[in-house]
Amino acid sequence: MATNRKKLVMVGNGMAGVWAIEHLLKLAPDAYEITIFGAEPHPNYNRIMLSSVLAGGADMDEIIINDLEWYRSHNINLHIGHTVTRMDTKARKVYSDGGVEVGYDELILATGSNPFMLPLPGADKEGVIAFRDINDCRIMQETAKSYKKAVVIGGGLLGLEAARGLLHLGMEVSVVHINEYIMERQLDEAASTMLRKELEQQGMKFLLAKQSEAILGKKRVKSLLFADGSMVEADLLVMAVGIKPNVGLAQKSGIEINRGIVVNDYLETNIPGVYALGECAEHRGIAYGLVAPLYEQGAVLAKRLAGAPTEGYAGSVTSTKLKVSGVNVFSAGQFIEPEGSRALRYQDEIDGVYKKLVVHDDKLIGAVLFGDTSDGAQLFSMIKKGEDIKGREKELLLGISADALSSSPQNRLEGMADDEIICGCNGVSKGAIAEAIQSGGCTSVGQIKACTKASASCGGCKPLVEGLLQLYAGDAAVSVKEGICGCTTLNRDEIVSEIKRMELKTVKEVMNVLEWTNEEGCAKCRPSLNYYLGMLWPEEYVDEKESRFTNERYHANIQKDGTYSVVPRIYGGVTSPTELKKIAEIAEKFDVPMVKFTGGQRLDLLGVKKEDLPKMWEELDMPSGHAYGKTLRTVKTCVGSTFCRFGTQDAIGMGIRLEKEFERLTAPAKVKLAVSGCPRNCAEATIKDFGVVAIDGGWELHIGGNGGVHVRATDLLCVVKTEDEVVEWASAFLQYYRENAGWNERTSIWVERVGVESVKKALENREDRLALQERIQTTLNLTTDPWKQIVNEPELRKNFEPIAPIEIYK
């Protein structure tokens, strides 16, 4: 059977080429016997997502687009780790460096680009890399484990995404840029300046208008020297100064080359039977460096090879979105106004929003958005269509209402052709999304993402995907809107605002008034409502014990054999011989099978019977360590200036003060703090929910860290001078988290979701901080030690009495 098929060979196993093959297989599954060569030793993966991998937003194994099974199931002969080194276009054969020789009828060149490496003296030193593939990403991850200082040359999209990833990996990062302002290929100066300021707040340093001259160091890079004689130290140097189409192979084979491989509207080169697409191709003088146009090329090439009618590729208007969490930047079309056009601008310094629309002959030809990019996808669609916007300029500049877009029957989305691409990053068309909703039964953006990959990369298309969901699922989309659980369609924010607005005071009342489908609620909504009500009405609300999990009901962690563990509070991890003796005696008296130090510098008495808990707490006469609840757990400290010769501040004193301040605090999820006495950070403060690191003359405050399943390093919140300020900021941060996070949402997830910048903004004003501090104090003043309460109240003690065995045979 295969012998009747024409032979199709593709050089390059990247995003553009494999996308074209996928489409060809849909149009003409049996037309070709396909062979693919890929120089990288991986199946086709989402190169875009390397930035997210570096920044901790995705795992390497999540970015594979077509796994090896996909190639096998489509009978594709795949040669990965093979570079095609020679082509004979007369004999129609290609040869790989691995000794494979294959004949073809049709040949696709999809060799992508090579990163442009500045030819500086010293560029061959160890530690000088590009950011292009999985290997580069791994090198950066490894380097960050043993080195501190990273320098990125190039303040474009790639350089900034690399820099953000390196910051996430804990490196100090300087971005060297040749221009006066960053991302000048996508932004005007106003938006660029706002972006730089935001990134500086995230910890990035910028060296602008710098001409790199030489890379210094012995074997490994040590520093980068500039033409003005200044230098910057570097253990790692990443070059991100643009790309150049990979044309070497085509050039050797007599194929017409300009900047890229020259192709016509059908992606044909000057040699019959040889096509090119992707970053290696140059169409009407343009070699594109973003996936959306490459996918458009792929759709045309697939049709051409399948013998299906196509009008050809006419070029693309492009849009970009920087993939850096906490920063929203969007640019599309002609963002600098050409002669004869006009620019409309809107700037809100308080909220950090900037918008610019470029209009020519009453048509939108370009846009730059900073701070609020929610209209980006819609504006881009208007630019591509060349829509007349006369009379609507103000409405567009101040924001297209999502409702207006989705509610009108004659809306823009409805008018779009089925093959128009909605998600540029993943090449998902309107038709594919419509099918996922109408035939696939998708009723939420999450389901559409899982089914089609739309909105899975930069997220820029999400508003359009939401619009399509409204258009095709209508009420169904509304009725399955993701609520906090199956009992309600309301999300966390809606519930909290309704509780406040209607002054609802009990779990039952919330469920009744907000029309819960299950009147008893479930294990997910009951504890969350219990938390929200307690947070909103600290002085009136009576905690609903039944809504709490076993551990929180018994104030101890249940173990796998049904016994409990007891962890008394040991402030800052500091104890005394007397206290240790007491704990040891009690452990012996109650036959505690194991005594263990916890990771949070306390003692865990494991294997305690439930009925022994109150007696043991009584004898210990120590506060509960709250090792079981969604509360403040530990405040880990290092020895700091008290004993350590490096310590600059009293880490122990600071830690104990924080622990005494916030002990017993309930929160959406458990909260851990740490205080280190100097930047050596022995207390690991940068993987805590709130981490304090002493520096000369002050303290760095870090937020949103986690050392658990999804390890996340903290973001720097601010630097303060005094211990009082540390307490003020910690209070404000913890209360802001309590008031805004979803129940069971750790600070690491919450900070990532809302963006560190929004947290900074909420806390930057002292009056707001003091108001938050006052609210947290109100809550803290009402807390009591649960162990003491149980010890002193015979009624509560009864809950711990052993249940008498039921006598069945009397």
Ligand X SMILES: Cc1cc2nc3c(=O)[nH]c(=O)nc-3n(C[C@H](O)[C@H](O)[C@H](O)COP(=O)(O)OP(=O)(O)OC[C@H]3O[C@@H](n4cnc5c(N)ncnc54)[C@H](O)[C@@H]3O)c2cc1C
State the binding site for siroheme. Answer: 682
Q: How many residues of this chain interact with ligand X, rule: CB under 6 A?
A: 36
Does residue number 158 form part of the binding site for ligand X (CB under 6 A)?
Answer: yes
Residue 460 binds which entry of ligand X, ligand FES, ligand NAD, none, CB below 5-8 Å type-dependent = ligand FES
| CA distance linking residue 397 with residue 394, whole number of Å | 5
Q: To which residue do tokens 């809306």 refer?
A: 411
- The CA distance from 405 to 636, in Å, is 51
Q: Judge contact between 699 and 690, C-beta under 8 A.
A: no
Binding site partner of 423, from ligand FES, ligand NAD, ligand X, none, Cβ cut-off 5-8 A by kind:
ligand FES
The entry of ligand FES, ligand NAD, ligand X, none that residue 396 binds, CB within 5 to 8 Å by partner kind = none
Give the list of residues 6+ apart from residue 785 with CB closer than 8 angstroms, or none.
Answer: 623, 624, 664
Identify what 455 binds: ligand FES, ligand SF4, ligand X, none; CB under 5 to 8 Å per kind.
ligand FES
Which of ligand SF4, ligand X, ligand NAD, none does 681 bind, CB closer than 5 to 8 A by kind?
ligand SF4
Three-class DSSP category at 752: helix
> From the list ligand NAD, ligand SF4, ligand X, none, which binds 38 (C-beta under 5 to 8 Å, kind-based)?
ligand X
Please answer whether residues 104 and 10 qualify as being in contact, where contact means their C-beta atoms are separated by less than 8 angstroms: no
Per-residue HEC secondary structure of 359-382 comes to EECCEEEEEEEECCCCCHHHHHHH
Which of 780, 795, 777, 743 is closest to 507 using CA atoms? 743
Q: Quick check: 269 binds ligand SF4 (CB under 6 A)? A: no
Least Cβ distance, residue 425 to ligand X (angstroms): 6
- Name the maximum alpha-carbon separation found in the chain: 101
Q: Judged by CB under 6 A, does residue 118 bind ligand NAD?
A: yes
**Per-residue mark of binding to ligand NAD, 124-153 (x: CB under 6 A):** -----------------------------x
Stretch of 320-328, 512-520, 563-571, 765-773 contacting ligand NAD, by CB under 6 A: 320-328
Nearest approach in angstroms of CB 461 to ligand FES is 3
Per-position b or e across 559-588, b if 16+ CB within 10 A of its CB: eeeebbbbbbbbbbbbbeeeeeebbeebbe
Contacts for 534-541 with beta carbons within 8 Å, 24 or more apart?
A: 534/666, 535/666, 535/738, 535/739, 535/779, 536/496, 536/499, 536/500, 537/505, 538/778, 538/779, 538/782, 539/778, 539/782, 540/505, 541/505, 541/506
Cβ at position 544, least distance to ligand SF4 in Å: 42
Q: What number of chain residues touch ligand NAD (CB under 6 A)?
A: 26
Q: Closer to ligand FES by CB, 440 or 459: give it.
A: 459
- Interface residues toward ligand FES, by CB under 6 A: 423-426, 454-461
Q: Which of 405, 651 has the CB closer to ligand FES?
A: 405
Tell me if 674 sits within 8 A of 656, measured CB to CB. no
Three-state SS sequence of 451-516:
HHCCCCCCCCCHHHHHHHHHHHHCHHHHHCCCCCECCECCCHHHHHHHHHHHCCCCHHHHHHHCCC
**Pairing, β 329-333 against β 319-321:** antiparallel
- The site partner of 155 among ligand SF4, ligand X, ligand NAD, none (C-beta below 5 to 8 Å per kind) is ligand NAD
Considering the rule CB under 6 A, would residue 677 count as an interface residue with ligand SF4? yes
Inter-axis angle of helices 376-385 and 462-473, to 10 degrees?
Answer: 80
Interacting partner of 701 out of ligand X, ligand NAD, ligand SF4, none (Cβ under 5 to 8 A depending on kind):
none
Contact 413, 468 (CB under 8 A): yes
Does residue 458 touch ligand X according to CB under 6 A? Answer: yes
- According to DSSP, the residues that pair with 319 across neighbouring strands are 332
> If binding is defined by CB under 6 A, does position 185 make contact with ligand NAD?
yes
Least Cβ distance, residue 486 to ligand NAD (angstroms) = 37
Beta-sheet pairing, 261-263 with 281-283: parallel
Question: Is residue 51 a contact point for ligand X (CB under 6 A)?
Answer: yes
What are the residues whose beta carbons fall under 8 Å from the beta carbon of 684, sequence distance 6 or more? 636, 674, 676, 691, 707
| Residue 691 in the binding site for ligand SF4 (CB under 6 A) | no
Instruction: Check residue 154 for interaction with ligand X (CB under 6 A).
Output: no
Would you tell me the crossing angle of helices 756-763 and 723-740 to the nearest 10 degrees?
Answer: 120
Residue 555 contacts ligand NAD per CB under 6 A:
no
409 contact partners, CB below 8 Å, separation of at least 6: none
Closest to ligand FES by CB, 460 vs 534, is 460
| Among ligand SF4, ligand NAD, ligand X, none, partner that 39 touches (CB below 5 to 8 angstroms by kind) | ligand X
Residues 6+ apart with CB under 8 A from 765: none
Q: Which helix (H) or strand (E) holds 298?
A: helix 291-306
Q: Determine the residue type at 389.
A: I
Binding residues: 638, 644, 678, 682
The least CB distance from residue 784 to ligand NAD, in Å, is 52
Residues 628-657 that bind ligand SF4 (CB under 6 A): 638-640, 644, 646-647, 651
Residue 156 binding: pick among ligand FES, ligand SF4, ligand NAD, none (C-beta 5-8 Å cut-off by kind): ligand NAD
**What are the tokens at 766?**
């002292």
Residue 586 interacts with which of ligand FES, ligand X, ligand SF4, none, CB < 5 to 8 Å by class: none
Applying CB under 6 A, the residues found at the interface with ligand X are 11-17, 37-40, 47-48, 50-51, 83-84, 110-113, 131-132, 158, 246, 249, 278-279, 289-292, 294, 323, 425, 458
Applying CB under 6 A, the residues found at the interface with ligand NAD are 118, 153-159, 161, 176-179, 184-185, 212, 240-243, 289-290, 320-323
Applying CB under 6 A, the residues found at the interface with ligand SF4 are 638-640, 644, 646-647, 651, 676-678, 680-682
